A and B are shown apart, each in its own frame.
Chain A
């Protein structure tokens, strides 16, 4: 029996990431991969093999509940060994529902996938990112893939097959959608934090740093001088030995010299990055990635790349 891997995400960029993972896995076991589109074919989504377009009487892409049912019915007929989805919030719901419908295991937010003879293996963060686990799931299985890690498959396309699944109706009605308002995520649970230090010259300049934080999906923090001495930000934003201890996936220190008291508050971060004009600033000894440069040039440059890319 041939080994088939399916790939799906409701978000196009992520779909291409999952497609490239499916391609890798399929190649490693001399099998094949197919990409799922829902409702209609998406030209922006590539596939290393076929494309399966699933439709039904109700829109599927916006309904994780129906998306899972549709993929399940198609899978019953085709028997893929693995269904890979992007670990977006909706992707996790689709994957979880699919696992129950198929009565198979589901591993969450994995990366570095490998296919063994009997099972899919991958790695995932555990215990707030302090640890890394290798997890495994017997075939057939479902997995959600950590987004933003894999390269995106591009410019490939195989044959397109459309499958009409007939009448399906959701239990949940989507009434509307809006762009996100300014969040009030607290620093202790934030996954991305961009912090400002003395290198920021004026209180008004904090807006630029805050915008950078949001564009990276994160929140604004600061080192002690900005909260306690200058009062530019409330004490709740102060990170350090005498402020908050945080453990985000990414901590980006902008214009922060990196005194020990500050480092004490960020040492459990998964990745620490820094921007500072002084190449001897202690922050570079405590960081994974550092940029020696003027934050007033680097920050706009990053913002341009993030919004453009």
Chain B
């Protein structure tokens, strides 16, 4: 089995600070393997343990992403492909295209696993876009993947239900964090990761006439105000419960 895991070199959102004007200090910000990519890598490693084969880490990211890629390699993957590309200005359409082309060059793969979304931007668009570019069967938000021969049975976790899907191999899937507990690489594995093969590619090498341009962009980012509103409702339970729920709905924090 040859399994690809798409990994993102993400901004470590827990360490990200704002400057006095409220803009995120991205220059020199701490970075990490996007949190749920580890679940995807773990799932791939478990599939490899069952069926034998190879796990390849694929990352579209800046030069600094090498450290992130090595972290994923340290979990037990066999090799990596790094498409060296600066993040700024590149949207999910362009990213998924580059991943497609990199996978085409390093493949063919039996399975391509991604996270449900990245821990910094959480758009959740790259995995289904990738499946569309690759014209492969796709299951998003997988909480369980069972392979038997050339068929994969996937438990898909939706908002309030769970679906069972059947896909033929090769396929693309995104996984939810509940699917597994990612392993911690041992120190020996950390040290050995830098010896594993890492192929470098450029967008120019990969892009063809069908390459999209980045059509969506971020205009402005600012810190969300931390001042609490301190609105207090008093009165009969039905009244206050209603007011509270309405306020929370208006804030967009309840609902799917």
Interface residues of A (CB under 8 A from B): 11, 14, 64-65, 68, 86-90, 92-93, 95-97, 99-101, 103-109, 111, 121, 125-138, 141, 146-149, 171-181, 183-186, 189, 191-192, 216-217, 249-250, 267, 270-273, 279, 284-294, 297-298, 300-302, 304-306, 309
Contacts and interface: CB of A to CB of B under 8 A. Distances in A.
Interface stretch (B41-49, B70-78, B103-111, B160-168): B160-168
Interface string B229-256: 1111110011011111101111111111
Interface stretch (B51-59, B118-126, B184-192, B200-208): B118-126
Among B13, B229, B232, B241, the most chain A Cβ lie within 10 Å of the Cβ of B241
Nearest to B220: A134
Given A106-B125, A293-B237, A130 B224 contact: yes
B62 interface: no
14 contacts: A96-B126, A100-B96, A100-B129, A105-B215, A107-B216, A125-B224, A126-B24, A131-B24, A148-B252, A172-B167, A285-B228, A289-B244, A291-B243, A301-B238
B254 A216 contact: yes
Given A285-B230, A301-B238, 14 more contacts: A89-B124, A90-B158, A105-B91, A107-B216, A126-B24, A130-B224, A132-B222, A147-B256, A148-B252, A178-B161, A184-B178, A189-B177, A284-B230, A292-B240
A183 B177 CA distance: 12
A120 B203 CA distance: 28
A183 B124 contact: no
A205 to B, nearest CB: 16
Contacts of A272: 228
A145 B241 CA distance: 27
Name, among B153, B223, B255, the residue most crowded by chain A CB atoms within 10 Å (CB to CB): B255
B216 A126 contact: no
B162 A178 contact: yes
Task: Give me the 7 closest cross-chain CB pairs, A-B, nearest first.
Answer: A148-B255, A105-B215, A105-B216, A301-B241, A108-B123, A250-B253, A96-B128
Interface of B: 11, 13-14, 16, 18, 24, 35, 91-93, 96, 119-129, 131-133, 136-141, 153, 157-168, 177-178, 212, 214-224, 226, 228-234, 237-238, 240-245, 247-256
A247 B226 CA distance: 13
B240 A305 contact: no
B255 A147 contact: yes
A64 to B, nearest CB: 8
A73 B218 CA distance: 29
Contacts of B131: 97
A100 B132 contact: yes
Contact of A180 (B120, B161, B164): B161
B165 A99 contact: no
B237 A97 contact: no
Contact of B140 (A93, A129, A189): A93
Nearest to A176: B164
Contacts of A217: 159-160, 254-256
A95 B93 CA distance: 11
B226 to A, nearest CB: 8
Contacts of B243: 291
Given A131-B18, A289-B233, A177 B163 contact: yes
Contacts of A181: 162
Contacts of B91: 105
B168 A126 contact: no
Given A99-B93, A288-B229, A92 B165 contact: no
B166 A172 contact: yes
A273 B91 CA distance: 35
A136 B120 contact: no
Contacts of A249: 252-253
Given A100-B129, A175-B164, A288-B230, A126 B221 contact: yes
Given A128-B119, A287-B228, A171 B128 contact: no
A289 B222 contact: no
Contact of B215 (A87, A129, A138, A174): A138
A107 B218 CA distance: 10
Nearest to A306: B245
Contact of B216 (A127, A137, A180, A290): A137
B125 A95 contact: yes
A270 B232 contact: no
A90 B91 CA distance: 20
Contacts of B251: 250, 270-271, 288
Contacts of B224: 125, 129-132, 270
Contacts of B138: 65, 93, 171-172
Of the candidates A89, A135, A149, A183, the one having the most CB atoms from chain B within 10 angstroms of its own CB is A89
A180 B132 contact: no
B232 A290 contact: yes
Contact of B133 (A14, A100, A298): A100
